Amino acid sequence: MKPARTPVAGVPRMGEVIPLRRAPTTTEAVSDEALVAACALGDAAALGTLFDRHHEALWRFLGRMSRGGAAELDDLAQGTFVEVWRSASRFRGGAAVRTWIFGIAANLVRRRARDEGRRRAALADLAAVPRPAPAGRAPDDALMRRQMVDRIGAAMAGLSHELREVFVLCDVEEIPGVEVARALGLREGTVWRRLHDARKALRRALEGGGR
């Protein structure tokens, strides 16, 4: 008769179910919508992943919406994600998460401009139109491009916040109008009207004020 074998630690006995080892899950494979749902349950790591995914796009968006310096943009970006954390339980998926975040940021910029009266001062640096090139001297391509960028910046600075936010979301970020409407809490018709007015105003400004 063979002696009973002593079980080896960590080795399953005959008849035992061998547990399957699953690869460790990371938030990298989780959808934005699931991350927002996790934020609503108090998962700070989910908020960190959302920040990692969207902070660069948000920074660019805020740079177009508010002409403050780097410190102010940092403050706005952090304030946006604080509001994302607070509002996560109210997210209903009517728009993409990125659009929803941009909508929060746009509202934050609007409140700051209204409450602190900073909009005109923050856009003052873009108000100056570059001087024309000296007569008889054609500017090089780089200078012409820079002048055009400056003219576009000055033209956008002249838009109201309501027109500028719709123009940036729809034409610059290329977000569908229906999502923009949901993110900003507007009717679709209002979004299209503001976008039309913004395009018209920009075209008029770039053409030198002619109608």
Q: What is the pLDDT of residues 116-126, one digit of tens each?
A: 554 444 344 44
Q: What is the pLDDT of residues 148-196, one digit of tens each?
A: 667 777 778 788 888 888 888 888 888 888 888 888 888 888 888 888 8
* CB contact at 8 A, 33 and 93: yes
Write out the CATH class of domain 30-206: mainly alpha
| Whole-number Cα distances in Å, 210 to 72, 160, 202 | 35, 19, 11
Q: Which residues are CB-neighbours of 38 under 8 A, at least 6 positions away?
A: 30, 45, 46
pLDDT of residue 186: 86
What is the reported pTM?
Answer: 0.59
Going by C-alpha positions, the residue among 170, 128, 153 that lies closest to residue 206 is 153
pLDDT bin (cut points 50, 70, 90) of residue 147 is: low
| Amino acid letter, residue 127 | A
Here the tokens at position 75 are 């403050």
**Total count of residues recorded for the chain:** 211
* CB contact at 8 A, 181 and 161: no
Domain ranges of the chain: 30-206
